[in-house]
Amino acid sequence: MNVMSMQRHTRKMPHSLPEGRAPLRRPGAGLPYLDAVSATDSMEHENQRLSAYEHQVKHAFDRIIPCVRKLAAIQYEEDFVPLASERIIDELDLTPPTDVLQKAWTRQLDVKQLVSHLTLATYYRFVSGVQHVNPLAHPQCADFVSFLADCGYHRMDITPCADGRLAHVIRYVLRLPAEVVRRKAYAGAAFAVEDNVAKWAEVELKRQQSAPGTNTKYLKVVAYHFSSIDGEREGCAAHGSDDRKAAEFGRDALLGFKNAVAQGFSRPDAVEGLLIGIDTATDSIVLHTPDLEGSIDIDSSLQSTDCVGMSSDKIRAYIGSYASHSSEGMQRLVSQLIENNLAQLAYVKTNHDGCYPDVGHAERFIGIGVGFDEIQLRNLMYFGYLTTIEEGAPDVDVGLKIFKGLNQSRGLSTPIVIRFDYYGSVAGARERAVARAGRVADALKSRYPDHFAAGDIHYLQLSRDLDTRAAPEFLGSNLPSLTEDNLS
Ligand SMILES: [Zn+2]
């Protein structure tokens, strides 16, 4: 089904949404009535919903520092512990870490530990709540899958840079369903080709079983980034803010993956690559589409900003003239991506006057491991996808460098969530996930001994069974105050 025509016939959304409450979860929302609303109305409702969610989640993290500042000011008062506990409950809706508070009058309030504790506990509460509400559910998930198939692809897989300013690339920047688009982030978008070939083979096997005889391709997207504001400092840290280098690296990585599948499986046409550049100051995109042989020219690009105000038909015509070297299906796909991105440009215009106030890094924590699918928000988490520290060391190094500026420079630690999700239905999967989380924590300690000695890294280890909607399982932490009891 054509996604473009679907956008004009969406379910009627309520005009004002309670914060964080997805309209699809409201009673009666599943009723199969359709109401013709204009595409503009539909986009505005979606933007309001996404904005309410972003504001709610980020606000929960941003209340922590002001709250701790107030606590630090009253730490020697006689009734500090009950007073501070009450404030933590009222203002942050968290269980107070009583041990930390009780030590304040004899020593000094351990602000470093308290901020890390509250940050990691806020993350835990957020991720536990998301499992029940699914606030970013995409209203047209199935339609997107059939649209993708019409364009000639059975799977879309995106590797953005691990930079937190790209964490919202799927659900916000490109307005795609996170439920069906695979995301694996790496510093500088330097994805592991072997890991991706294994994923390709797994998907291909399933495809041949479920849809034999079809000839669709695996679409691999690399999203590099640059900044139209302060670009020499705020580009991709992994590529020294050299935009051209970031784009060339993405192009070469796509080619490397395509060739690996071609050579390893004698399937030269199985993979198609698409390179996207994202301006992290405005969320506008540039697209470098492949020719029929799969070659990508960095110097040839389509820009979403050129299409502002255009109708769907005009966008399609624009793509037809500037991407005539690409397949018909690729042209349809990128037309849709540009149309989707225009909704995000309207979002940034409405909420931030067209340019984010936090042009630079403002991540609240680092997440490493396998999981984190619910993080689809900009500048909340620096993300490193890895199964071992050895493999992901460059990503973690970049992350810690970013947090040196963000947190250590003001006397705070770097909060790290180590998380490994698994499918409980697979025998031994939980045990393997738990063992990995343990190994990664140990490897962190041996790779960054100075950080640990100075108390500059506080981590929380979690794992979650993806076969259930249960909250993640608490596995451990190097913060003695962070326990299973005060997370629940
Ligand atoms: Zn980057």
What is this model's ipTM? 0.99
Q: Is residue 22 part of a domain?
A: no
Q: Which residue type, as a one-letter code, is found at position 368? A: I
Q: Is residue 119 part of a domain?
A: no
* 219 and 253 belong to one structural domain: yes
* 258 and 277 belong to one structural domain: yes
* 335 and 191 belong to one structural domain: yes
Last residue within a domain, chosen from 325, 352, 379: 352
Distance 333 CA to ligand 1 centre (A): 25
* Structural contact between residues 170 and 181, judged by C-beta atoms closer than 8 angstroms: yes
What CATH number is given to the structural domain containing 480?
3.30.1330.140
* Structural contact between residues 14 and 26, judged by C-beta atoms closer than 8 angstroms: yes
* 194 and 308 belong to one structural domain: yes
Distance 190 CA to ligand 1 centre (A): 9
Q: Is residue 93 part of a domain?
A: no
Distance 13 CA to ligand 1 centre (A): 36
The residue annotated as part of the active site, out of 93, 99, 110, 163, is 163
User: Left, alpha or beta for 127 (phi > 0: left; psi -120 to 50: alpha)?
Assistant: alpha
* 309 and 394 belong to one structural domain: no
345 vs 286: CA distance, rounded Å: 13
Distance 88 CA to ligand 1 centre (A): 35
pLDDT in tens, 229-263: 999 999 998 899 999 999 999 999 999 999 999 99
Q: Is residue 376 part of a domain?
A: yes
346 vs 316: CA distance, rounded Å: 19
Give the containing element (helix H, strand E) for 454. Answer: none
Strand runs labelled E in 92-250:
153-160, 182-183, 217-226
Last residue within a domain, chosen from 304, 329, 352: 352
For 255, 268, 271, 334, 382, the CA distances from 265, given in Å and listed in that order, are 15, 8, 11, 28, 34
Distance 233 CA to ligand 1 centre (A): 12
pLDDT of residue 265: 94
* 372 and 325 belong to one structural domain: no
* 290 and 392 belong to one structural domain: no
* 301 and 169 belong to one structural domain: yes
Q: Which positions of the chain have pLDDT values less than 50? A: 1-37
Question: How many domains does the chain contain in total?
Answer: 2
Residue-wise burial string across 31-59, b where 16 or more C-beta atoms lie within 10 A, e elsewhere: eeeeeebebeebbbbbbbbbbbbbeebbe
Q: Is residue 394 part of a domain?
A: yes
Pairing of strands 182-183, 217-226: unpaired
Helix, strand or coil, per DSSP, at residue 374: coil
Last residue within a domain, chosen from 300, 326, 352: 352
Q: Is residue 97 part of a domain?
A: no
Residues with CB under 5 A from ligand 1 (ion): 161, 163, 236, 238
* 145 and 232 belong to one structural domain: yes
* 258 and 406 belong to one structural domain: no
Distance 296 CA to ligand 1 centre (A): 20
174 vs 308: CA distance, rounded Å: 15
Range of the domain at 319: 141-352
Q: Is residue 26 part of a domain?
A: no
* 294 and 369 belong to one structural domain: no
Q: Is residue 391 part of a domain?
A: yes
The token pair at 171 is 């659900």
* 417 and 472 belong to one structural domain: yes
Specify whether 163 is catalytic: yes
Distance 393 CA to ligand 1 centre (A): 15
